[in-house]
Structure 1
Amino acid sequence: MTAGSRKGPSAKSWSPWEGTPSRSDLICWYGMLAVFAYSLLMWPLKPWLIGTNPILLEAMTGTQSSIAIAAAFARVGEAPIALVVAAGVFGLMKFSWIFWWAGKLWGERIVRYFLGSAEGRKARLLLNRDPSKNWLVWAAVLLAHLPFVPSALAYAAAGWARMRLATFLVLHLSASLAWAGLFAGLGYSLGRPGVDLAETITHYALWISLGTIVVILFIQVRAARRAFAEQDAARNAPQDAGEPN
């Protein structure tokens, strides 16, 4: 069977599954796309919420700044600090299981998807071809909130390593409690200056949001143009290669 005779999602190079996708494959795939789209949509809303409802913002985004500002509001009596930490933990954890599920469904293929084929092979070698026995997976889940750790990749690696969902959630909960507690403590120490800063940001929210939308659109347009250029190059390559010498 020629390559051109394969039809459907199984023939697409971007799919992390092999063969015809199952219902679980499609639900997980579109779930990940929804998470990425949700993250983009939250950017313009952040300036509006950070000075008016930072607890809602941290539950929706789980960002460090929103946790710290919510704790600053708690310092001046606007909210209980326990609610600040709980909302922060929820915001940090709410979508992680989707990437764990992706790792469980697709294993090394989703790691290669996130890293690229060459780096994916290196990851397989790093995990000694049996990731369930490697402590790096546990460390990656515990450290996933750090800026230099790709969290989606860490959670997918946990699923690939056949880590049980309960174990994954306990590790992730421990890390999220520590992370939310750290930034809640920093924000609580700020108090009124932190509240004033948040309210100033909200005051200029319209312009900040418009600027954020412009930046996002610019990045998306540039990425689309690059993708089209790569597709054109790929289409032209076989024609050039097939010309007689």
Structure 2
Amino acid sequence: MPSTDQPLDPPGAPESGPKKAPEWWEDPRMPWKGKPGRADILCWVGFSVSGIIGLIMIPLRPVLIGHSPLALVAITGSRSGLVTSGALASVGRADWWLIALMLGIVSSMKWDPLFWWAGRLWGRGMIDVVAGRSRWAARTADKAEWLGRRFGIPAVLLCYILPLPAAVVYATVGMAGMRLRTFILVDLLGSALICSFYVWLGFRLGQRAVTIVDVIAKYSGYISIALIAFIVINGILQANKQRNTATAKARALPEAESAD
């Protein structure tokens, strides 16, 4: 005969016992819905690698633009590096401006197919990641999404001219069904046009640009140290802000429960 010492839970009652900790991929800030597959992980790793490289390059930019602008262009597609290449060629201090142009065209668009792929994989989820940074980012992302859906190819080209969140536009055209080959060809055209313009601008500026580059080269070490200090201090401030926000929420929760 079954024991009646333990009361039975009424139907529909919440399950007792400790709740299972959510998996890392269940974080609402992630762009996917459900458990990510291999393609999701690869795409996310690509974003992480691009972010790490971008962070590393912040303090290295002044050093490279002053001492090796060709390397800067090859790694980042830097527009300032392209201007420098054209300016050095105009005063006879470099004859590799065409190499810089070719490298700049490829390097400036190297991560773009990743955003197209993210749009195919996650749809609106990718846009929500960009929009979730702030209210301004959300409004800008909505406008960029509309632009990408409405104009497609022209929108991709406009990302090289206007201060648009290119990640949103590229993800939107991927989500809307633009073929990868079409996207790469249009992106290549935009990159070629803008990189050619900056090399031409360097030729036009000539010695004036070279003088500025020489000053940057002279003080590049100090500039890099200042940038590193800024990154570290900003990271500490952001970590403290997040910790204070989490503490405030943790304190507010018991107060709200006791008020109920």
TM-score bucket of the superposed structures, by smaller chain? 0.7 to 0.9
CA distance in 2 between counterparts of 1:147 and 1:236 reads 44
- Partner residue of 2:49 out of 34, 51, 55: 34
Q: CA deviation at 1:6?
A: 5.9
Q: Does the CA contact (< 8 Å) of 1:72 and 1:194 recur in 2?
A: yes
Segments of structure 2 that go 5 or more residues without pairing to the other structure are: 1-13
Paired position in structure 1 for 2:5: none
| Distance change (3 Å), C-alpha of 1:230 and 1:186 | same
Q: CA deviation at 1:91?
A: 2.2
| Distance change (3 Å), C-alpha of 1:237 and 1:13 | farther
Check if 1:91 corresponds to 2:107: yes
| Distance change (3 Å), C-alpha of 1:237 and 1:104 | farther
Q: Does the CA contact (< 8 Å) of 1:9 and 1:15 recur in 2?
A: no
SS for the counterpart of 1:13 is coil
- Could you list the structure 1 runs, at least 4 aligned residues long, displaced by more than 4 angstroms after superposition: none
Q: Does the CA contact (< 8 Å) of 1:140 and 1:154 recur in 2?
A: yes
- Partner residue of 1:123 out of 138, 142, 164: 142
CA distance in 2 between counterparts of 1:16 and 1:203 reads 44
Paired position in structure 2 for 1:70: 85
**Identity level (%):** 30
Q: Give matches, 1:117-196, under 5 Å.
A: 119=138, 123=142, 127=146, 134-146=149-161, 148-196=163-211
Segments of structure 1 that go 5 or more residues without pairing to the other structure are: none
Q: CA deviation at 1:147?
A: 5.4
| Distance change (3 Å), C-alpha of 1:140 and 1:215 | farther
String of CA shifts for 1:50-98, please: whole Å, max 9, x gaps.
Answer: 1222121112122221110111122234123322221221221111111
Q: Does the CA contact (< 8 Å) of 2:75 and 2:107 recur in 1?
A: yes
Q: Does the CA contact (< 8 Å) of 2:87 and 2:205 recur in 1?
A: yes
Count of residue correspondences: 239
CA distance in 2 between counterparts of 1:234 and 1:38 reads 34
String of CA shifts for 1:95-146, please: whole Å, max 9, x gaps.
Answer: 11112111111110110111139848x839x749xx7xx3334333112233
* Amino acid aligned to 1:88: G
Tell me the C-alpha RMSD between the 2 structures: 2.6
| Distance change (3 Å), C-alpha of 1:146 and 1:240 | farther
Check if 1:100 corresponds to 2:116: yes
For normalisation by structure 1, the TM-score amounts to 0.86
For normalisation by structure 2, the TM-score amounts to 0.82
Check if 1:8 corresponds to 2:23: yes
CA distance in 2 between counterparts of 1:116 and 1:49 reads 33
* Amino acid aligned to 1:114: V
CA distance in 2 between counterparts of 1:161 and 1:236 reads 44
Check if 1:79 corresponds to 2:108: no
